[in-house]
């Protein structure tokens, strides 16, 4: 969790749904500016080589201001990752909770996933390149976070697959296996795209992913 939120009691103890004050909105805007600047520095230098001084300069904040929001570079790096994944997770949840048919939901899930990678290519390249270089504590925290998110992601997709099976759109296959099959195909495409530099359009591959999935799963 963000260090600023953990240490700011006025935000932490605020009743759910209550509006932030002007000062709190300004602090939240500053925190986001720092995260965006950190993302640019990490993309250029990598996690290990980046320094808080460079991030402060990029964000046009004092170094002391950075430490007001984040206790160290590791906390800043993990906060950046949480922010990106939280945004993606919210978009996916909106799809799975919609009233659309299962096949439309599946198409939207694939599209949103691919768009997220294209829009934040540098971020996902950071994850791929820096993950093996992180120290044990940060690496373990990141792996635990990603594992937890992956399980929740599969759970969401499993619900869509269950709808597809019940409505006769998909074969009578355990929904969990269908969810794993779809995510496996998507992961293969995105991982290859990131590792090869992401020069080609990833979203253009969406129809291929859907054809591969439905060809083996559709009753038609």
**CB within 8 A of 146, min separation 6: which ones?**
none
Eight-class DSSP state of 133: G
**Fold matches, 1-71 and 74-220:** no
Q: What is the pLDDT of residue 16?
A: 46
Q: What is the pLDDT of residue 47?
A: 83
Q: What is the pLDDT of residue 216?
A: 59
Tell me which residues of the chain have a pLDDT lower than 50: 1-12, 16, 217
3-state secondary structure string across 70-127 = CCCHHHHHHHHHHHHHHHHHHHHHHHHCCCCCHHHHHHHHHHHHHHHHHHCHHHHHHH
Q: Alpha-carbon distance 217 to 212, whole Å? A: 9
Each domain of the chain, given as residue ranges in start order, spans 1-71, 74-220
Q: What is the pLDDT of residue 132?
A: 63
Q: What is the pLDDT of residue 134?
A: 66
Q: Alpha-carbon distance 76 to 176, whole Å? A: 35
pLDDT tens for each residue of 104-135: 999 999 999 999 999 888 888 877 776 666 66
Q: What is the pLDDT of residue 145?
A: 81
Q: Alpha-carbon distance 214 to 63, whole Å? A: 52
Closest C-alpha to 76, from 52, 59, 43, 45: 52
- Residues 134 and 47 sit within 8 Å (Cβ to Cβ): yes
Q: pTM to 2 decimals?
A: 0.76
Q: What is the pLDDT of residue 168?
A: 94
Instruction: Pick 74-220's CATH classification: 1.10.1040.10, 3.10.20.30, 1.10.357.10, 3.40.800.20.
Output: 1.10.357.10
Handedness of CA 196, 198, 200, 203 (dihedral sign): positive
Instruction: Pick 1-71's CATH classification: 3.40.50.300, 3.40.50.80, 1.10.10.60, 3.40.309.10.
Output: 1.10.10.60
Q: What is the pLDDT of residue 10?
A: 43
Q: What is the pLDDT of residue 210?
A: 95
């Amino acid at each position: 969790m963000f260090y600023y939120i953990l240490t700011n009691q006025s935000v932490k103890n605020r009743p759910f749904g209550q509006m932030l004050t002007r000062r709190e909105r300004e602090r939240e805007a500053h925190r986001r500016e720092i995260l965006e600047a950190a993302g640019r520095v990490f993309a250029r230098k990598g996690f290990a080589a980046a320094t808080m001084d460079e991030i402060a300069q990029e964000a046009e904040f004092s170094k002391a201001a950075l430490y007001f929001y984040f206790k160290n570079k590791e906390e800043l790096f993990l906060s950046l990752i949480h922010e990106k994944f939280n945004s993606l997770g919210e978009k996916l949840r909106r799809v799975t909770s919609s009233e659309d048919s299962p096949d439309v939901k599946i198409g939207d899930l694939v599209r949103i996933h691919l768009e997220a990678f294209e829009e934040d290519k540098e971020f996902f390249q950071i994850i791929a390149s820096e993950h093996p270089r992180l120290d044990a504590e940060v690496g373990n925290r990141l792996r635990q976070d990603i594992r937890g998110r992956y399980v929740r992601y599969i759970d969401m997709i499993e619900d869509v697959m269950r709808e597809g099976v019940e409505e006769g759109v998909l074969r009578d296959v355990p929904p969990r296996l269908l969810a794993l099959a779809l995510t496996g195909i998507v992961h293969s495409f995105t991982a290859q795209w990131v590792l090869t530099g992401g020069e080609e359009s990833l979203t253009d591959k969406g129809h291929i992913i859907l054809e591969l999935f439905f060809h083996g799963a559709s009753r038609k």
